[in-house]
Chains A and B, each alone.
Chain A
Amino acid sequence: SQQGEEDPQALSIQEGENATMNCSYKTSINNLQWYRQNSGRGLVHLILIRSNEREKHSGRLRVTLDTSKKSSSLLITASRAADTASYFCATAGNQFYFGTGTSLTVIP
């Protein structure tokens, strides 16, 4: 079974709002990564957070990691229509697992 479970499965917001998606996982990890996938395309790496880090920023992205709760969150600030995509967390430990994904729709 897949390692990561993401919440919510689908999210629809207005342009300019913030979007938050969460990822929970089951076992110990070396790092956790977030990827984006536009419809019908391959995945694009967004950000990597190591197991000894608690928060990381990259442009409009903010990722948090709580290893005690085995959870991570991805915040996209000031969303744009072009942010519409599916977002996946991926855990890197003894094995590499992708989560189930959150489908984000940003309405112009």
Chain B
Amino acid sequence: EAGVAQSPRYKIIEKRQSVAFWCNPISGHATLYWYQQILGQGPKLLIQFQNNGVVDDSQLPKDRFSAERLKGVDSTLKIQPAKLEDSAVYLCASSPRTSGGARSDTQYFGPGTRLTVL
């Protein structure tokens, strides 16, 4: 089966500009995650969707970050306006129908989008 697709793979922007990332999860996976991974650190969960509803966005900086998954399939993550500290790899992951809790499933990751903010 096809894996999680993300685009673009690389993006360079100047601070205060806007940027959007796209993710297409594995077909049939109900849960979709967006993570931010700063160099040398582990991924930090930004937002988790169950179908088209938000399960957890407690660590999403809502003043500048937004995400949507309107049809419960693919998703976009937007940053507006970008700051220097947003330079990171943005990872998308998906997992199948959850059992035993929305956060218990094995996650399948895409290759990520490397964002550089100048």
Contact = CB atoms under 8 A, between A and B. Distances in A.
- The answer to whether A and B belong to the same complex is yes
Contacts of A93: 103
Nearest to B108: A45
Interface string B3-35: 010000000000000000000000000000101
Nearest to B110: A42
Contacts of B4: 42
A48 B106 contact: yes
A97 to B, nearest CB: 7
Contacts of B108: 45
Q: Is the interface of B mostly helix, strand, loop or mixed?
A: loop
B79 to A, nearest CB: 20
Interface residues of B, number: 25
A43 interface: yes
A99 B111 contact: no
Interface in A12-63: 30-31, 33, 35, 40-45, 48
Nearest to B58: A95
B45 A97 contact: yes
B44 A2 contact: yes
* Best-buried of B33, B103, B112 by chain A (most CB within 10 Å): B103
A96 B111 contact: no
A2 B35 CA distance: 13
A45 B42 contact: no
A101 B45 contact: no
Interface string B64-103: 0000000000000000000000000001010000001101
Contact of B109 (A2, A31, A43, A95): A43
Contacts of B101: 30, 92
B48 interface: yes
Given A48-B106, A96-B103, A43 B58 contact: no
A40 B91 CA distance: 11
B107 interface: yes
Contacts of A97: 45
A92 B103 contact: yes
Interface of B: 4, 33, 35, 41-45, 48, 56, 58, 91, 93, 100-101, 103-104, 106-112, 114
